[in-house]
């Protein structure tokens, strides 16, 4: 256990030191084969200036979402989430609405407005599946700039690396072709009753389940 903690601490400190990148890696694209021009790199017509790219592992990553509004689709194109996996199925995600606050805009379809990143990674890895059809507090509003607005949640605004949208067919959660969101949780989302709470002793924190209302925790 101690070894685990020490490893965790090391990784944490190490990451904190190295994390001088201009965007999360999950919102970056490989632009290694782009065209160089002065200090910028051009790829597929998008100009990445020095503030919008970084190099790791011999690969140049361009922060596409700093330039074009992005959202993440949890599964690849032509796939939806069936139970806990992405599986081939013609998606009906095209009905995804874009909002200004809680007011629907007439921007449509979403895939022409946003740059799409296919990923459901969360960092930290805790995820929750929203069920807007069963619980009004789960009603979500994708904003024009790719931010997710959740008026009834502690965080309220979630950036594109903190959620992904998808069509869900999940029997266990009574979802049959429902457009919804996998939300990456932050620490402050854990303090609410019925959710998880962080228990800390000295420097170390552990997650502890404090109540029962956790049936919608989604492990992937």
157 binds ligand NAG (CB under 6 A): yes
Q: Give 108: exposed, middle or buried? Use CB within 10 Å, 0-12, 13-18, 19+.
A: middle
59 binds ligand NAG (CB under 6 A): yes
Residue 200 belongs to what H/E stretch? strand 196-201
In degrees, to the nearest 5, what angle opens at C-alpha 146 toward C-alphas 11 and 26? 30
Among 47, 116, 147, 187, indicate the residue that binds ligand NAG (CB under 6 A). 147
143 binds ligand NAG (CB under 6 A): yes
Nearer to ligand NAG, 94 or 205 (CB): 94
102 binds ligand NAG (CB under 6 A): no
Give least dist CB 79 to ligand NAG, A.
8
How far apart are the C-alpha atoms of 93 and 87, rounded to whole Å? 14
Residues 15-44 that bind ligand NAG (CB under 6 A): 30, 32-33
Helices within the chain (DSSP H only): 2-18, 110-113
Give least dist CB 52 to ligand NAG, A.
14
Among 15, 83, 145, 214, indicate the residue that binds ligand NAG (CB under 6 A). 145
Q: Six-digit token pair at 27?
A: 């919102």
């Amino acid at each position: 256990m101690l070894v685990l903690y020490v490893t965790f601490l090391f990784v944490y400190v190490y990451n904190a030191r190295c994390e001088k990148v201009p965007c999360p890696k999950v919102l970056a694209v490989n632009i290694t084969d782009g065209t160089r021009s002065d200090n910028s790199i051009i790829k597929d017509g998008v100009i990445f200036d020095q503030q919008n790219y970084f190099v790791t592992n011999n690969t140049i990553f361009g922060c596409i979402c700093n330039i074009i509004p992005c959202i993440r689709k949890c599964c690849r194109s032509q796939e939806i989430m069936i139970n806990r996996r992405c599986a081939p199925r013609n998606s009906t995600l095209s009905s995804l609405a874009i909002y200004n606050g809680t007011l629907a805009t007439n921007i449509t379809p979403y895939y022409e407005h946003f740059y799409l990143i296919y990923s459901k990674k969360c960092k930290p890895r805790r995820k929750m599946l929203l069920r807007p059809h069963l619980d009004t507090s789960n009603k979500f509003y994708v904003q024009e700039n790719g931010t997710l607005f959740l008026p009834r949640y502690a965080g309220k605004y979630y950036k594109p690396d903190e959620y992904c949208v998808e069509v869900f067919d999940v029997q266990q959660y009574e979802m049959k072709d429902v457009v919804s969101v996998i939300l990456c949780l932050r620490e402050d989302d854990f303090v609410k009753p019925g959710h998880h709470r962080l228990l800390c002793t000295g420097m170390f924190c552990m997650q502890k389940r404090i109540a029962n209302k956790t049936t919608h925790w989604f492990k992937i």
